[in-house]
C-alpha cells in the first residue's frame, strides 16, 4: 500500500503476478492537494519489472518425408522453456503462431501439415496454429500424399513468423519429400502389393477393404493379373492389365465378402494372383497372396412365432406355435422337445439347408389326468442336433407355457364350440 503524509511517501505498489510475457512496464501516480501537505499535481513514475521470460523458439528440420511408406517429414519447434500466455484476449489464452510455407512441393497435392503437441494431433488449416500455456515441445509433420507419379524429389520450407509470447531463434528450416523410389527399382521385375493398414479385414454384409497392386519395372508387353478367390467367401475380382505406359500406376483392388445366410465362425480366405504376358520376365511370375480376415455377421438360432402368453387346457384342442431357423445350416438340423408328462408327446422336426427359413408347426396338447390341480407353469425345452457344428447343441431359451385344469368348458371347447 502507498501512504502519503506530511513526512513523505512510504509503502509499496502492489502488483499482479500473471503468466504473460509482457516486458517491463511503468505506471504513473499523480498526487492531489491535501490539507496535510502542500503542493499537489506532482507525478511519481514506478517501474514494473516482468518476471516472465518468453521462450526462444528454434525451427529444426528432422527426418525427410517419403512417399513410398508414407513416412512424414518433421519440423521440430525447439522451445528454450515452457510457453507462456501471449496476453491475447482469448479465454484460453493460447499463444497464436503464424507461419509461411514455401518450397517447390505443393501443399494439398504433395503433402498436408499436421500439428503434434501435448499428446494430441490436429490438421493445420491455413497458415496459423495455437498452443496452450505450458507447452514445451511441438512439431509440424509434413505428411506426404502419394500421387502415383514419378517425379523428382521436392522440398518444403517452413518459416515461423514473429509473434507475442515468444522470441525467435532460427525461425526457418527445409526438408525434402522423397518420391516413391520407383526409379531406383525400375530394373527389378516384380509385382508389388500393399494392403491397407498392413492387412485386409472385412465384415460379412457390412464392410469391404482394399489393397493396391502395381508392377515394379516396365514390361516389354502387356501384363494381365488374374485373381483367384474362394467364391463362397470372397466375391470374384476382375482381372487387371498393366501396359508399358501405366505399369507403375497403382491399381486399387476391392475385397467384398460374400454375404450368405450361413452362420459360421470368423475365418480367413486367401486371394491368389497369376500373371500372364508375352514378356517372359513377367509371365507366370510369383506374386504374394493376400489373406482376408472375415468377421461373421450371421447369428444362428431358432425363430419361434405365436409363442407369447402360450396357454393350453386339459381336454381342449392343442395350441400351435411355429419354428424356423435364423440362418442356413450346412447340414440337416433335428429339433426334439423335452417336456413333462403333463403334455402329450411332440413329434420332432427336421430342417434342411433348403427349407431352413420355412416355419414348421408345433402342436402342444395337454394330457388329461385324474388329478385336480391349479394352473401349472412349465417350459418346453428344444434339443438341437446336427452335423453342423454351429447348430449342434445350440442353446435356446425355453418356451414357457401355462396348463389349465380340466373343466366342462374345456370339454365343450374340444367338442367344437370354441
Question: Mind listing the pLDDT tens digit for each residue in 191-223?
Answer: 999 998 788 999 998 899 999 999 999 999 999
Question: Mind listing the pLDDT tens digit for each residue in 40-58?
Answer: 556 767 666 555 678 999 9
77 burial level (CB within 10 Å; 0-12, 13-18, 19+): buried
CA distance 262 to 179: 47
Q: Do 392 and 311 fall into the same domain? A: yes
Q: What is the average per-residue pLDDT within 139-146?
A: 90
Question: Mind listing the pLDDT tens digit for each residue in 1-48?
Answer: 555 555 555 555 665 555 555 555 677 766 666 666 555 556 767 666
The last residue of a domain, from among 178, 202, 232: 178
Q: Do 330 and 241 fall into the same domain? A: no
Q: Do 306 and 279 fall into the same domain? A: no
Classify each residue of 4-26 as buried b or exposed e, where b means 16 or more C-beta atoms within 10 Å of its C-beta: beeeeeeeeeeeeeeebbbeeee
Name the pairing type of β-strands 120-123 and 154-160: unpaired
Q: Do 87 and 35 fall into the same domain? A: no
210 within a domain of the structure (yes/no): yes
CA distance 174 to 157: 4
The pLDDT of residue 91: 45
The last residue of a domain, from among 264, 295, 326: 295
CB-based contacts of 321, cutoff 8 Å, min separation 6: 304, 305, 306, 307, 310, 361, 362, 364, 399
Residue with cell string 491535501: 34
CA distance 201 to 208: 7
Q: Do 32 and 78 fall into the same domain? A: no
Q: Do 170 and 213 fall into the same domain? A: no
Share of the chain above pLDDT 90, in %: 55
412 within a domain of the structure (yes/no): yes
Q: Look up the domain containing 332 and give its range.
A: 302-417
CA distance 192 to 275: 12
CA-wise closest residue to 342 among 384, 375, 300, 390: 375
The pLDDT of residue 372: 66
- 114, 129, 332 from 322: Cα distances, Å: 60, 65, 18
Q: Write the CATH number for 362.
A: 2.60.40.10
CA distance 132 to 51: 19
The last residue of a domain, from among 134, 154, 178: 178
- 179, 321, 360, 398 from 380: Cα distances, Å: 70, 12, 16, 6
CB-based contacts of 167, cutoff 8 Å, min separation 6: 54, 55, 56, 57
CB-based contacts of 278, cutoff 8 Å, min separation 6: 220, 221, 222
Q: Do 146 and 215 fall into the same domain? A: no
Q: Do 40 and 63 fall into the same domain? A: no
183 within a domain of the structure (yes/no): no
Q: Write the CATH number for 246.
A: 2.60.40.2030
339 within a domain of the structure (yes/no): yes
229 within a domain of the structure (yes/no): yes
Q: Do 142 and 208 fall into the same domain? A: no
For the chain, what is the domain count? Answer: 4
CA distance 233 to 213: 21
Q: Do 63 and 159 fall into the same domain? A: yes
What's the mean pLDDT when you consider all of the chain? 84
Q: Do 32 and 16 fall into the same domain? A: yes
Confidence label for 108 from pLDDT (cuts 50, 70 and 90): confident
The helix or strand, by DSSP H or E, that contains position 410, with its residue range, turns out to be: helix 408-412
CA distance 38 to 405: 116
249 within a domain of the structure (yes/no): yes
8 within a domain of the structure (yes/no): yes
Q: Do 132 and 68 fall into the same domain? A: yes
Amino acid at each position: 500500500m502507498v501512504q502519503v503524509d506530511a513526512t513523505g511517501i512510504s509503502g509499496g505498489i502492489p502488483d499482479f503476478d500473471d503468466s504473460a510475457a509482457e516486458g517491463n512496464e511503468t505506471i504513473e501516480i499523480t498526487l492531489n492537494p491535501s490539507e496535510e501537505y502542500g503542493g499537489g499535481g506532482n507525478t511519481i513514475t514506478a517501474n514494473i519489472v516482468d518476471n516472465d521470460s518468453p521462450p526462444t523458439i528454434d525451427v529444426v528440420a528432422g527426418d525427410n518425408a517419403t512417399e513410398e511408406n508414407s513416412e512424414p517429414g518433421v519440423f521440430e519447434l525447439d522451445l528454450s522453456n515452457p510457453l507462456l500466455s501471449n496476453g491475447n484476449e482469448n479465454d484460453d489464452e493460447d499463444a497464436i503462431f503464424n507461419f509461411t510455407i514455401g518450397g517447390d512441393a505443393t501443399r494439398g497435392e504433395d503433402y498436408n501439415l499436421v500439428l503434434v503437441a501435448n499428446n494430441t494431433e490436429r490438421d493445420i488449416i491455413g497458415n496459423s496454429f495455437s498452443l496452450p500455456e505450458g507447452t514445451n515441445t511441438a512439431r509440424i509433420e509434413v505428411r506426404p500424399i502419394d500421387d502415383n507419379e514419378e517425379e523428382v524429389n521436392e522440398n518444403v520450407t517452413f518459416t515461423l513468423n514473429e509473434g507475442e509470447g515468444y522470441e525467435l531463434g532460427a525461425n526457418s528450416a527445409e526438408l525434402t519429400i522423397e518420391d516413391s523410389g520407383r526409379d531406383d527399382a525400375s530394373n527389378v521385375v516384380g509385382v508389388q502389393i500393399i494392403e491397407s493398414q498392413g492387412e485386409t479385414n472385412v465384415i460379412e454384409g457390412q464392410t469391404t477393404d482394399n489393397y493396391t497392386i502395381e508392377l515394379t519395372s516396365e514390361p516389354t508387353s502387356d501384363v494381365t493379373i488374374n485373381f483367384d478367390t474362394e467364391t463362397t467367401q470372397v466375391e470374384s475380382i476382375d482381372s487387371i492389365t498393366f501396359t508399358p505406359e501405366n505399369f507403375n500406376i497403382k491399381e486399387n483392388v476391392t475385397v467384398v465378402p460374400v454375404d450368405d445366410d450361413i452362420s459360421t465362425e470368423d475365418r480367413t480366405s486367401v486371394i491368389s494372383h497369376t500373371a500372364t504376358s508375352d514378356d517372359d520376365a513377367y509371365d507366370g511370375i510369383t506374386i504374394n497372396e493376400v489373406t482376408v480376415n472375415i468377421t461373421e455377421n450371421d447369428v444362428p438360432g431358432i425363430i419361434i412365432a405365436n409363442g407369447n402368453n402360450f396357454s393350453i387346457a386339459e381336454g381342449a384342442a392343442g395350441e400351435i406355435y411355429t419354428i424356423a431357423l435364423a440362418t442356413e445350416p450346412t447340414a440337416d438340423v433335428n429339433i426334439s422337445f423335452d417336456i413333462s408328462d403333463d403334455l402329450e408327446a411332440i413329434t420332432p422336426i427336421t430342417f434342411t439347408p433348403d427349407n431352413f427359413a420355412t416355419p414348421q408347426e408345433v402342436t402342444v396338447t395337454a394330457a388329461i389326468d385324474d388329478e385336480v390341480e391349479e394352473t401349472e407353469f412349465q417350459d418346453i425345452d428344444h434339443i438341437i442336433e446336427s452335423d453342423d457344428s454351429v447348430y449342434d447343441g445350440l442353446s435356446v431359451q425355453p418356451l414357457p407355457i401355462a396348463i389349465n385344469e380340466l373343466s366342462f368348458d374345456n370339454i365343450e371347447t374340444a367338442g367344437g364350440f370354441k
